Amino acid sequence: MLPDERETAAQDKDVLEIYKMLVEMADRVSERRQSANAFYLSVNTAIIGGAAYLSQSAFGHLGTFAVSAAGIAICFLWVRSVVSYKSLNAAKSQVNTALEDRLPVSPYKDEWAILDVDGDGKRHKPFHKTEVLVPIVFMFVHGAQFLAEVPWQEIVSSLSPTT
């Protein structure tokens, strides 16, 4: 092997090792994403149970309002987390795809060519579009719990003219 060929072979090996490392890092981000989702799911489930318990306790409306408002805030953070992980994964995918130009195969490019043949996004829906719906559903549940505790009859009667 000539010196230039050895250098090229060494560079190809380095590129492959970097590619393997980047794929592993992307996989770890996906694992962290799933852990974060499991955390937010658990917290929201506990908040819903806590709000239901508080509505029957001595804290009554005030406790339920506070816990439901906290649940809505947690859901906003959850949506933000999903969007953040989505952009991080997208960046990692772009780096991996660009690095594939220096490899003999291109699995990321090939995968997307199969998933979205027409390039119109109709055949494959990205996971984050479904994933972000879960915290939105929880926001509605927390909002419903909040609204259920509002003393509507008292409010309406206080607004009605007395005769």
Task: Convert the pLDDT of each residue in 25-59 to its tens digit.
Answer: 999 999 999 999 999 999 999 999 888 787 777 76
Instruction: Report helix angle 3-55 to 60-99, nearest 10.
Output: 170
pLDDT band at 109 (very low <50, low <70, confident <90, very high): confident
Neighbours of 99 (CB within 10 A): 17
What is the pLDDT at residue 30?
92
- CA angle, 86 then 119 then 116, to 5°: 70
**What pTM was estimated for this model as a whole?**
0.79
- Give the single-character DSSP code of 118: T
pLDDT band at 153 (very low <50, low <70, confident <90, very high): confident
Give the contacts of 52 (CB within 8 A, at least 6 positions apart).
145
By the 8 A CB rule, do 123 and 115 touch? yes
Instruction: In whole angstroms, give the CA distance from residue 97 to residue 114.
Output: 15
Give the contacts of 147 (CB within 8 A, at least 6 positions apart).
none
> Judging by beta carbons within 10 Å of its beta carbon (0-12, 13-18, 19+), is residue 44 exposed, middle or buried?
buried
* CA neighbours closer than 13 Å in the CB half-sphere of residue 80: 6
